[in-house]
Amino acid sequence: MQVLIIEDDPWMAELLTSLVRNQRSDAHITLCKEGLAGWQHWQKHGAELVLSDWNMPGMNGLDLLEAVRKSERQNGIHKTLQVPFIMVTARNDKRSVMEAVRLGLTDFIAKPFSVEQVLSRLKPYLGDSENINSLAELSLEEYLDRLSDEELELPLSPTLQETLERSMRPDEQDFDSLSALWQRDPAITARLVAAANSGDYFKGTTLTTLSQALQRLGLHTSLNLALGVALSPASNLTDPLLKARGEALWKSTRELAELCQALAAQVGDNSEEAYTAALLSNIGELVVLFESQSWLATEQTLDEAMLDAAMARFSRPFSATLKANWRLPLGLRQRIGALYGMGGQVTDKADLVMRSAALLLSPEEDSEREALLNKCLRQLNLGRSIADGLLEAVRHMPLAEA
């Protein structure tokens, strides 16, 4: 099924994409950021369903609707066979709606909306997925190699999957409770921080933490974006091998995040930012797990050697792509980079905190690692015994229950 989405807000476009794919996993979705681009695509390729914003630069949604319906009339297409055209917009006054209906609008979804409402409204237009899968003959690495930048996604941690239904009740939530529920999940944290720093949500100040993102986005938008992430079938790792790898990765990442936060608090650094950066340090590996789960849906089988090879080849480029696409703040990127090493003489407190945490958790027990760790701690004016005590405290936290 060919679906055309015209939306200038990238996060709203991504949410609509997730909602469509939840109903039609085989849908081929084209995203356009403005009406003219949508019209040009329509002229060349057509579509079986159009979802469009109203207020866009240049050709707006109403102009696009009028052009599409005129094109259909010129081609002798009867009104009963016209392509469904759904307007998704905050412009919901009666006069605007009536004008759109006069021009041939099929349906109207007002922003802000609930995800459940949109799923219900889209269902009649999307039908059922087809069983034919053209990707069934691809190896895992071939499948990963063909993914577009826009298709890269992260899985949700098991506990977040379990609590997401509770999180979707806005009347029972506040910023503190949402932050407590979501703060240990890389997928939700990355999406909301990136969304808060982009498009219509950006207010001139770059945000680097989940709590800041929740405040800027508001409850309704935050909940919709979170549920959009959860709607993908592959967001829940069900394959035993992938699930085990995911749980190990989430546990080690949370342990690192807790230690970075503790060290930062000890030396007067931004502890919440340190936590966020550490939480996002393994997003490339998580993408490989997510996409491997998607690949398995094409009736494939996976073994450890195949997964190890995919991790080695794709984790780093996938991580770099997501950081660039989501425009993660430079401060977070620098902290993540510091986890893996620092070149030259570095005295920045944030970098020293991150590197110290990584060295403390390193399984290597060699003199070079010890010398570098002690040097970092001296520059932080932090005693080794205090650092070891923080490490011990973190290791006794109930991280598996996160």
Amino acid in position 76: G
Q: Which of 181, 201, 233 is the last residue of a domain?
A: 233
pLDDT given for residue 401 in this prediction: 46
User: Is the full-model pTM beyond 0.85?
Assistant: no
pLDDT at 385 over 90: yes
| 132 within a domain of the structure (yes/no) | no
Specify whether the CB–CB gap between 34 and 59 falls below 8 A. Answer: yes
Residues 247 and 337 in one domain: yes
pLDDT in tens, 302-341: 999 999 999 999 999 999 999 988 888 999 999 999 998 8
**Number of folded domains that form the chain:** 3
| 200 within a domain of the structure (yes/no) | yes
For residue 180, what are the CA distances in angstroms to 108, 171, 374? 35, 17, 33
Q: How many CA atoms lie within 13 A of 280 on its CB side?
A: 34
Specify whether the CB–CB gap between 65 and 42 falls below 8 A. Answer: no
- Helix, strand, coil percentages (3-state) for the chain, rounded to 5, are 65, 5, 30
Q: Which of 211, 233, 255 is the last residue of a domain?
A: 233
Residues 166 and 261 in one domain: no
Residues 104 and 8 in one domain: yes
Residues 297 and 363 in one domain: yes
- Helix ranges, 327-395 (H): 330-339, 349-361, 367-379, 384-395
Give the span between the Cα atoms of 124 and 176, in whole angstroms: 38
Give the span between the Cα atoms of 290 and 40, in whole angstroms: 33
Residues 397 and 256 in one domain: yes
Q: Which of 233, 263, 279 is the last residue of a domain?
A: 233
pLDDT given for residue 164 in this prediction: 65
Residues 253 and 394 in one domain: yes
| 349 within a domain of the structure (yes/no) | yes
| 140 within a domain of the structure (yes/no) | no
pLDDT in tens, 107-144: 888 877 778 778 888 988 987 666 545 556 789 999 99
| 139 within a domain of the structure (yes/no) | no
pLDDT in tens, 175-201: 677 777 788 899 999 989 988 988 778
Residues 167 and 252 in one domain: no
pLDDT given for residue 137 in this prediction: 78
Residues 202 and 281 in one domain: no
Q: How confident is the model at residue 58 (pLDDT cuts 50, 70, 90)?
A: confident
Residues 212 and 340 in one domain: no
pLDDT given for residue 140 in this prediction: 95
| Residues contacting residue 72 through CB under 8 Å, at least 6 positions apart | 82, 83
Residues 322 and 351 in one domain: yes
pLDDT in tens, 212-251: 999 998 887 888 788 777 777 678 899 999 999 999 999 9
pLDDT at 379 over 90: yes
pLDDT at 298 over 90: no
Query: What's the mean pLDDT when you consider all of the chain?
Result: 87
Cis before residue 112, ω within 30 degrees of 0?
yes
Residues 260 and 382 in one domain: yes
Q: Which helix (H) or strand (E) holds 32?
A: strand 28-32
| 88 within a domain of the structure (yes/no) | yes
Q: What is the mean pLDDT of residues 89-116?
A: 82
Label residue 24 exposed, middle or buried (CB < 10 Å: 0-12, 13-18, 19+): buried
pLDDT at 162 over 90: no
pLDDT-above-70 percentage for the chain:
91
Looking up residue 41, the CATH number of its domain turns out to be: 3.40.50.2300
| 44 within a domain of the structure (yes/no) | yes
Q: What is the mean pLDDT of residues 2-29?
A: 88
| 133 within a domain of the structure (yes/no) | no
The domain in which residue 166 lies consists of 158-233
pLDDT in tens, 334-375: 999 999 886 556 679 999 999 999 999 998 888 899 999 999
Looking up residue 280, the CATH number of its domain turns out to be: 1.10.3210.10
Q: Say how far residue 381 (Cα) sits from the centre of its chain.
A: 37
Residues 327 and 302 in one domain: yes
